[in-house]
Copies of this chain bind each other. A is one copy, B any other.
Amino acid sequence: MVRVGILGATGYTAAELLRILLRHPHVRVTVATSRQQRTRIDQVHPALRGRIDLWCEDLSPEAVAERADCVFCALPHGASFSVVPALVERGCRVIDLSADYRLHDAAVYREWYGLEHGDPQRLGEAVYGLPELPVRRARITDARLIANPGCYTSTSILALAPLVAGGHVRREGIVIDAKSGVSGAGRTPKPHTLFCECNESVSAYAVGRHRHTPEIEQELSEVAGAAVQVVFTPHLMPMDRGILATIYTDPLTDRTETQWLDLYREYYRGSPFVRVTEALPATKDVAGTNFFDVTVRRHSGKLVVLACLDNLIKGAAGVAVQNFNLMYGFEETTALL
């Protein structure tokens, strides 16, 4: 039984983590932290009433390390790098769901997050936790610190990896038009995430400056073995959860749609959460699951990739538990089907 701690237990991602971990036969959640709210977990997340008897506490990382073997860190970026070092040094294995350890380069972090990174030496050590990428998967098993990927990032990388890995598309000017539910914006009240602002509305935001951009390019470049450049545009959709990415690429080789799909199936052979489909994917079909659905269409000279996942699960809490399973030698799908 692995003793698990959750830092930042009041957000939507933490709620999903708890829901999943409560189904995990080899996990006991022993500690949950919050700076603001010292209440029972089920008062913060009423959906968990009757499922868990735990309080949110305001604890130091040292205190957490005494009660947990593995810590899921669901803090905001900038807060993670202040607590992760103490956890790792005390022997905890850490799965960090913030952006703090995703980028390899502290200068890029500073540029996009406007912060000096507080733990830059550990950037090289952290393993980017996208287990479907062969280059990442091998290292996850032994990782002490996982940088859990962003939601837009996972969608985009998984959608493009088979193409850029084989050099099948132009590596520049890849258009990623992504549509997300509102839960990705978090639970802190802000004007633009009020019901009456989001409901019955669709809009783009952060055009050209969304922070998942360098993460997408970093990982895809590693997969490709050469620089990949994307045009990433996120949009807010009036729904709770789900991301659909519609991706426009310029193919360099000529294949039928069936052949393209076969290429995806081959690349993701052995990945239990990737579903290569012939039908057009819909976010509803992955909502509440750890699945990633993807298809392709040839269209007016472009190769269009359509892909979706649940941003809170495959895009956050689910892949975190998937990484956890690999780290501890459990069946990869444990608690995730």
Contacts and interface: CB of A to CB of B under 8 A. Distances in A.
Contacts of A193: 189, 194-196
A27 to B, nearest CB: 14
- Measured as residues with beta carbon below 8 angstroms from the partner, the interface class of chain A is 35 or more
A223 to B, nearest CB: 19
Interface stretch (A111-119, A156-164, A273-281): A273-281
A287 B288 CA distance: 11
A300 B230 contact: yes
A165 interface: no
A194 B196 contact: no
B194 A46 contact: no
Contacts of A284: 47, 197, 200-201, 203
A183 to B, nearest CB: 5
A198 interface: yes
A135 interface: no
A238 B237 contact: yes
Contacts of A202: 179, 237, 239, 242, 244, 282-283, 308
A306 B207 contact: yes
Given A237-B237, A248-B175, A182 B196 contact: yes
Interface string A201-223: 11111011000000000000000
Nearest to A248: B175
Contacts of A172: 301
Interface of A: 12, 22-23, 43, 46-47, 49-51, 172-173, 175, 177, 179, 181-183, 187, 189-191, 193-205, 207-208, 229-231, 233, 235, 237-242, 244, 246, 248, 272, 275, 277, 279-289, 291, 293, 297-302, 304, 306, 308, 337
